A = this chain, B = another copy of it.
Amino acid sequence: MKIGRIIGTVVATRKDERLTGHKLMITQGLDLEGNPEGDAVIAVDTVGAGIGELVIFTEGTAARYAADKPQSPIDAAIIGIIDNIDVYEELLKKRR
């Protein structure tokens, strides 16, 4: 899973019917400092998350299970709203 922020939405009238009923959220992955990292993805929301929220998102087959639609074209889903992150980056200075 990755840490991301919901920064927008996509509207598509003509689409795979298995997407109907899901909000399509533009979700930007973030690095440990909160800066954008990697491509933004379109993820379906499964937890009632809103624009601006910091979320956990998942990709691939995991996203279809998140949406309870294992045989759908979904490949990214929001699965948690983050309350708190604790990161100890100084641990990265440890040598093997």
- Identity of the chain B residue whose Cβ is nearest the Cβ of A16 in the assembled complex: B79
Give the interface SS of chain A, mostly helix, strand, loop or mixed: mixed
| Chain A interface residue bracket vs B | 35 or more
How many Å lie between the Cα of A54 and that of B92 in the bound state? Answer: 10
A58 to B5, CA, bound (A): 20
With contacts A87-B26, A91-B5 taken as known, whether A11 is within 8 angstroms of B82 at the C-beta atoms is yes
Please list the 4 inter-chain residue pairs (A to B) with the smallest Cβ-Cβ separation, ordered nearest first. A15-B80, A8-B87, A12-B80, A66-B73
A–B complex contacts, Cβ < 8 Å, 20 sampled: A1-B73, A2-B39, A7-B87, A8-B32, A11-B86, A12-B83, A14-B81, A16-B47, A18-B65, A28-B92, A31-B40, A34-B94, A34-B95, A52-B91, A62-B75, A63-B73, A65-B71, A66-B73, A73-B77, A73-B79
